[in-house]
A and B are shown apart, each in its own frame.
Chain A
């Protein structure tokens, strides 16, 4: 197990370097220059080149990459071209909001989707199953921005129960209740999509298990149906679902641009999209690498969890 961990961790290094090379190249090959380079056109060529060299933009791309990598290895992700602030600070400022939103929506999605998936599989081809299936497809089909706007119209504008957007009441002191109040709608919108997918995933995984011989054996032994489904079925059906959670880890910090925009939620998704439009290279690279690291770690975690819940798997 320990040697497996070490091996896997070491193999992450070339993967991450590969990702950084590719993202850096794509970023440079994409049309458009950093917005800071659109200076006052009457500025002298000399002043312009001084400014570019201050930003390190006058080096050839490979040199820029190596400089970036050297600094990044030391944990220094540079300073935003636009905001002139350390990128790591900009990210840590935004990270909690995104984690909170994505975490709560994932939590909400799981506590609803997993029981629904089990139920749907257990009652296959009944009206209940059809109902859940239809509901899931609706959830997948409904676009985030539409659902968000509709919920805002209904609950914020017409009923006045929830705030229109933001993360806290303007000028108010921090309180958990206030935060939850602001969290409800965006969480529901984000959860709807993933809930639907998770329900379908759980359902198909459970169905596969429920048709296994050992389930028939368990039933033949005369166990209660709930015990058959939950103990013998669910525990085995959960295995593929756990993998899914491992893979969802990067989305936790990736945030959702659409929902964050709609609800003015100050998270990383917005930071990323703004940085992309302004070609703010240091911010783009830091966020891409954050996503890459979490994807790689997520995969590892999924594999480890696999071994934990499934005794047949050993490393």
Chain B
């Protein structure tokens, strides 16, 4: 069984915790380390894209709200991706590319002013033109003191936004922020429909957010029947050209087994998040292709650094040395992942594998423990100053990969005289224990879904210890300084070089034992053509899909 709710929308600029297990079942040899390579289409050679047809997308969760300013869940974000247009979007290589903007933004010398030129003639679904004033309207909401949505923290450096003309908009920042490009992907709201709604009430304004959202995206909202389905239809006047599909129907399926069956029956055309254990079944269907790519995430075993057991760097390195991660990837993940050594995804432009590596080496682990003052006690468990090396690994239930990982780590650490108790809890109760203000855990198995921008601040800066995502309490002056300086560097190559120092520092410190980068899998009916697998946005290529007869 897989818990399938993720916590926050992939749109979010900060990383988010993942409850579900990822990964899949393709042989590891098909992965590349640098960029996702879409599998070759089983395309009908020489067939031109044709208009028409209804694409049925299977969705495990039901959406909540169709408004990027307030949505926090994956289904809402997916559907909003189709309804709304934004200044920018990202391509399958995770590069920020223009949507209704034209070309790259013009960034001032000091990095404070970002000016975007916009396409003319972009229409909302109700026929009104989308102009710079709508962009200003949308982004001003983030700055409003009455805005309490989930994105408030992302725009702290945004000072002002103004329309220079109907088709030119300028963002002014209070400090240079290289991450800002990835914040320009929020769906633009129609000012003419919403300007009379007080910002404090906007999140609750159902008539727009739920009943009739109007955007300028490739598909317009038609209907939503709770618990059953949601229908979108092609927007004829879409600025990128009318989509090939006539309709997109989200079918709400509550159970992954049922989802797999529906895929085989042809009642669902496109299903994401196929769990590895279902892959043999899905691959056995004659009418379905399986596509895979690395997910923009990594799984890890994190140590609570408040616990005296884990405060010595050598001890943490020893723990990693004692865990055979390649073996775990080959067994628990059935080879559908790559061993991770640093908190950055190979998909990112900031990836750098020049970091200290702690491969499986129990002898080295024992030597490091001895160096740190740990000696075997009478019961075979390591001891120091009368304290036994014994701790609990917490993870969330409903996730078999994490359960198995906990058990294997228990066995492998027993090999160097460390006692581990794996334990699983319900997701909500688990979060309550591991996050502020409780921090009541020794070690946890978790995964980060990463943001488009590789900035490490949200997870690793020491200011995030009390309230933020740095729940293990990691504090390093070197990382803090680099986290603050890297976002001021506008040149991507220079910034990558700075970030490489962060990855090396974190790998050396081993606050986590970095586990793996998992593959993710989708099933797609063979009648659907033109698919491009985006590692982060499942709706990326929907507007250019077509149905082969």
Known A85-B206, A164-B262: A40·B432 in contact at CB below 8 Å: no
By beta carbon, the residue of chain B nearest A269 is B254
- With A38-B431, A40-B150, A94-B227 as contacts: A264 and B252 at CB distance below 8 Å: yes
A69-123: which residues lie under 8 A (CB-CB) from chain B?
Answer: 79, 82-85, 90, 93-94, 97
Given contacts A94-B226, A156-B265, A157-B265, contact A42 B255 (CB under 8 A): no
Q: Which residues of B contact A85 (CB under 8 A)?
A: 206, 210
A177 CB within 8 Å of chain B:
no
- Comparing B151-159, B306-314, B513-521, the segment that makes contact with chain A is B151-159
Which of B104-112, B461-469, B483-491 contacts its partner? Answer: B461-469
- Chain B: CB-nearest residue to A270: B254
- 8 Å CB contact of A84 from B156, B203, B262: B203
* B427 interfacial contact with A, CB 8 Å: yes
Segment of A27-35, A196-204, A220-228 engaged in the interface with chain B: A27-35
Which residues of chain B come closer than 8 Å to A262, judged between CB atoms?
254-255, 257-258
**Is the pair B153, A83 in contact by a Cβ cutoff of 8 Å?**
no
CA distance A111 to B24 in the complex (A): 47
Residue A166, interface by CB 8 Å: yes
Report chain B residues within 8 Å CB of A82: 64
Q: Taking the complex as formed, is B242 at the interface, i.e. its CB lies under 8 A from any CB of chain A?
A: no
In angstroms, Cα B425 to Cα A30, docked, is: 12
Complex CA–CA separation, A82 to B204 (angstroms): 11
Chain B neighbourhood of A163, CB < 8 A = 267
Residue pair B458, A264 in contact (C-beta under 8 Å)? no
Expressed in whole angstroms, the Cα–Cα distance for A33 and B428 within the complex equals 7
B458 touches A41 (CB 8 A): yes
Q: Are B258 and A266 in contact (CB under 8 A)?
A: no
A50 touches B227 (CB 8 A): no
Residue A278 interfacial (CB < 8 Å) = yes
Contact B254 A260 (CB under 8 A): yes
Query: Is A54 among interface residues, defined by CB-CB distance under 8 A?
Result: yes
Stretch at the interface among A167-175, A206-214, A236-244: A167-175
Asked whether any CB of chain A lies closer than 8 Å to the CB of B51, the reply is no
How many whole Å from B140's CB to the nearest CB in chain A?
Answer: 16
User: Chain A at the B interface: mostly helix, strand, loop or mixed?
Assistant: loop
Report if A41-B468 is in contact (Cβ < 8 Å); known contacts: A33-B428, A166-B228, A170-B267.
yes
Query: CB-CB < 8 A to A41: which residues of B?
Result: 14, 153, 458, 464, 467-469
Residue of A32, A43, A54 near B428 (CB, 8 A) is: A32
Task: Say how far A271's CB is from chain B's closest CB, in angstroms.
Answer: 8
**How many residue-residue contacts, CB under 8 A, span A and B?**
138
Interfacial chain A residues near B467, Cβ < 8 Å: 41, 45
Say how far A149's CB is from chain B's closest CB, in angstroms.
6
Q: B251-280: which residues lie under 8 A (CB-CB) from chain A?
A: 251-255, 257-258, 261-262, 264-265, 267
Chain B, residues 437-481, CB within 8 Å of chain A (1/0): the string is 000000000000000000000100000100111000000000000
Contacts of A170 in B (CB 8 A): 56, 229, 249, 251, 267
A261 within 8 A of B: yes
Report how far A267 CA is from B254 CA in the complex, Å: 11
**Are A93 and B469 in contact, with the CB atoms below 8 A?**
no
* CB pair B267 A33 closer than 8 Å: no
The distance in angstroms between the C-alpha atoms of A83 and B210, with both chains bound, is 9
Say whether A47 faces chain B, with CB atoms less than 8 Å apart: yes
Q: How far is the CA of A40 from the CA of B149 in the complex (A)?
A: 9
**0/1 interface trace, chain B 126-168, chain A, CB 8 Å (1 if under):** 0000000000000000000001101111101000000000000
User: B394 CB to closest chain A CB, in angstroms?
Assistant: 12
User: In the bound complex, what is the Cα–Cα distance between A31 and B396 (angstroms)?
Assistant: 13
- Interface positions of B from 509 to 537, Cβ below 8 Å from A: none
The count of chain A contact residues (Cβ–Cβ below 8 Å) is 52
**Could you tell me the distance between the alpha carbons of A38 and B72 in the complex, rounded to whole angstroms?**
10
Asked if A168 contacts B228 (CB within 8 A), the reply is yes
Contact A47 B152 (CB under 8 A): yes
In contact, A164 and B265 (Cβ under 8 angstroms)? yes
Chain B residues lying within 8 Å of A165, measured Cβ to Cβ, are 253-255, 258, 262
Contact of A40 among B14, B226, B255 (CB under 8 A): B14
Contact in complex: B251, A93 (CB < 8 Å): no
- Within 8 Å CB of B210, what residues of A? 84-85
A3 interface hit (Cβ, 8 Å): no
Q: Does A263 contact B (CB under 8 A)?
A: yes
In the assembled complex, the Cα of A201 lies from the Cα of B249 at a distance in Å of 46
Residues of B within 8 A of A54 (CB): 148
Question: Does A152 sit at the interface, judged by CB under 8 A?
Answer: yes
A31 touches B253 (CB 8 A): no
The residues of A that contact B72 with a CB separation of less than 8 Å are: 36
B429 at interface, CB cutoff 8 A: yes
Q: Does A10 contact B (CB under 8 A)?
A: no
Give which listed residue, A43, A50, A93, contacts B150 with CB less than 8 A: A43
When the two chains form their complex, are residues B253 and A50 in contact, meaning their CB atoms are under 8 A apart?
Answer: no
Contacts of A97 in B (CB 8 A): 227
Complex contact A32–B258 (CB within 8 A):
no
* A45 to B468 CA separation, bound complex (whole angstroms): 11
Cβ–Cβ contact A93 & B226, under 8 A: yes
Q: How far is the CB of A200 from chain B (nearest CB, A)?
A: 30
Docked pose: A117 CA to B435 CA in angstroms: 55
A79–B148 Cα distance when bound, in Å, is 17
Q: Which of B178-228 contact A (CB under 8 A)?
A: 203-204, 206, 209-210, 226-228
Q: Name B148's contact: one of A47, A93, A94, A164 (CB within 8 Å).
A: A47
CB distance from B389 to the nearest CB of A (A): 27
Report whether B428 and A35 are in contact in the complex, using a CB–CB cutoff of 8 Å.
yes
- Chain B proximity of A275: nearest CB distance (Å): 11
- Docked-complex contact A84 and B206, CB < 8 angstroms: yes
| Residues in A neighbouring B255, C-beta threshold 8 A | 165, 261-262, 264
CB of B39, distance to nearest CB on chain A (Å):
26
- Whether A40 contacts B228 in the complex (CB less than 8 A), given A47-B152, A165-B253, comes out as no
Q: Does A251 contact B (CB under 8 A)?
A: no
Q: Which residues of B contact A270 (CB under 8 A)?
A: 227, 254
Q: In the assembled complex, how far is the CB of residue B475 from the closest CB belonging to chain A, in whole angstroms?
A: 16
Shortest CB distance A98–B (Å): 10
Which residues of the other chain, A, contact B251 by a CB distance below 8 angstroms? 166, 170
Is A39's beta carbon under 8 Å from chain B? yes
Instruction: Tell me, rounded to whole Å, the shortest Cβ–Cβ distance linking B76 to chain A.
Output: 10
B261 near A164 (CB under 8 angstroms)?
yes
User: Is B87 an interface position by the 8 A CB rule?
Assistant: no
Name the 5 nearest CB pairs between A and B, nearest first. Answer: A266-B227, A42-B153, A32-B428, A31-B429, A41-B468
**18 pairs, A vs B, C-beta closer than 8 Å:** A31-B432, A32-B431, A38-B7, A40-B8, A41-B153, A41-B458, A41-B464, A83-B65, A84-B206, A85-B206, A152-B261, A167-B227, A167-B228, A262-B255, A262-B258, A266-B226, A270-B254, A278-B428
Using a CB–CB cutoff of 8 Å, the interface residues on chain B facing chain A are 5, 7-8, 12, 14, 54, 56, 64-65, 72, 147-148, 150-154, 156, 203-204, 206, 209-210, 226-229, 231, 249, 251-255, 257-258, 261-262, 264-265, 267, 426-429, 431-433, 435, 458, 464, 467-469
Given A40-B154, A264-B255, A266-B226, 10 further pairs, Cβ under 8 A: A38-B7, A41-B153, A42-B153, A84-B210, A94-B226, A152-B261, A156-B265, A167-B227, A261-B254, A277-B427
